[in-house]
Amino acid sequence: MTQHHCRHCGAPLSHIFADLGFAPPSNAYRAPEDLNRPETTFPLRVRVCDQCFLVQTEDFTDAETLFSADYAYFSSTSKGWLAHAASYCAMVTDRFGLDGSSFVVELASNDGYLLKNFVAEQVHCLGIEPTARAAAAAEACGVPTLQRFFGKELGVSLAAEGGGADLIIGNNVYAHVPDINDFTSGIAALLKPQGVVTLEFPHLMRLVEFTQFDTIYHEHFSYLSLSTVAKIFARCGLRIFDVEELPTHGGSLRVFGCFAGADHATAASVNRILSEEISRGMQGINFYTGFQPRIEAQKNAALQFLLDLRKYGKTVAGYGAAAKGNTFLNYAGIKRDLLPFVCDAAPAKQGRLLPGSHIPIFSPDVLTETRPDYVVVLPWNIAAEVRFQLSDLVDTGTRVVTLMPEVKVH
């Protein structure tokens, strides 16, 4: 039996946090002609380190396999996320006095959804994005982009060329890196002495609290608490000086980091959230090992809801070909008999099939044509946005429902 070790501290991993069976990578969308070819799946098991409490997937695949050239996720698809990015840019520009002399770097900059705000304000910036399609889209909208994976080697090289970054941004990338120590070392190498790094990631405390097991997929190598991130930062000479709780992705943290000796004062929010994590038991193994039975109960409730809809002759469609939806569908064993199709606004996904379930992906226009009784929003964190977009259908009787983190009709 393979012995897995913690990606951060190296301790043996002997505790299972979640076991979701076998699944293909959640963003490995299939073309119709691929149906006669084998589909690669990997174990989707997550372990927890009983020393530093980093929750992490087992090592069965690598970043190059998961984030391939045809990776189909584009941040600009969600209007809500675009607004979130614009609000963030205005906030950090004001708070840290960014101007034309500043240098801003975003890690995993995707299609330029965020940095285009800095380009508009003539703040010098650079996006680092490993996937070819997203990088090309960013360049097309005027965002300078380097198509590379980020780590210590690249951080050292960029600092030598440009003198370091005043601000480094990482929105929903920290959980996606297989070598979190090397990635953090790269941040430290690229950051100016008084520079700031901000990272946003789903908060493990909320994932457990609300049984958000569909947030688990192969592309998420790590599931993070503030206390564990503080330990990873400290190893690289960094410290967290502020933290915000965000509603995004079911409950996220935005941490503000700097060098240990930098001038940024530590806000009270840091100790407040660290204390809450301790009070909830996140520094003890029992917090983590009781999660699997809750996953199974939630999966069964959601599956029963769909079975009841079929029993009573209701028509159903899905909305949002998101990674979290694929985790749920594959773990629950849901196929086209319960969810005939899914609609998504991203042209790159339309005409393809969801990995594993092979449910077809259509344009949202199909919903207007078919007018189903129920629309299941798979990326439940944007359910309110989707309900607004489908207001014409809702007004004529279509019900918008989410199955995670609980069955809920909106």
Residue ranges of domains in the chain = 75-289, 305-409
Q: What is the pTM of this model?
A: 0.88
**Domain 75-289 architecture:** 3-Layer(aba) Sandwich (3.40)
Q: Which CATH architecture has domain 305-409?
A: 3-Layer(aba) Sandwich (3.40)
Q: Tokens 């698809």 sit at which residue?
A: 77
User: Starting from the edge strand earliest in sequence, which strands make up the sheet with 399-402, in order?
Assistant: 361-362, 342-343, 316-319, 374-377, 399-402, 408-409
Per-residue pLDDT of the chain in tens (410 residues, 90 and over written 9): 567 899 999 999 999 999 999 999 988 899 999 888 999 999 999 999 999 999 999 876 555 555 445 544 566 667 777 899 999 999 999 999 999 999 999 999 988 889 999 999 999 999 999 988 889 999 998 999 999 999 999 999 999 987 899 999 999 999 999 999 999 999 999 999 999 999 999 999 999 999 999 999 998 999 999 999 999 999 999 999 999 999 988 899 999 999 999 999 999 999 999 999 999 999 999 999 989 999 999 999 999 999 999 999 999 999 999 999 999 999 999 999 999 999 999 898 999 999 999 999 999 999 999 999 999 999 998 899 999 999 999 999 999 999 998 999 98
Q: Do domains 75-289 and 305-409 have the same CATH topology?
A: yes
CA distance 225 to 277: 8
Tokens of 149: 């994976």
Question: Which residues are registered as beta bridge partners of 224?
Answer: 203
Tell me how far apart the alpha carbons of residues 281 and 265 are, in angstroms, rounded to a whole number: 28
Closest CA to 150 of 171, 173, 119: 173
- The one-letter code for the residue type at 243 is V
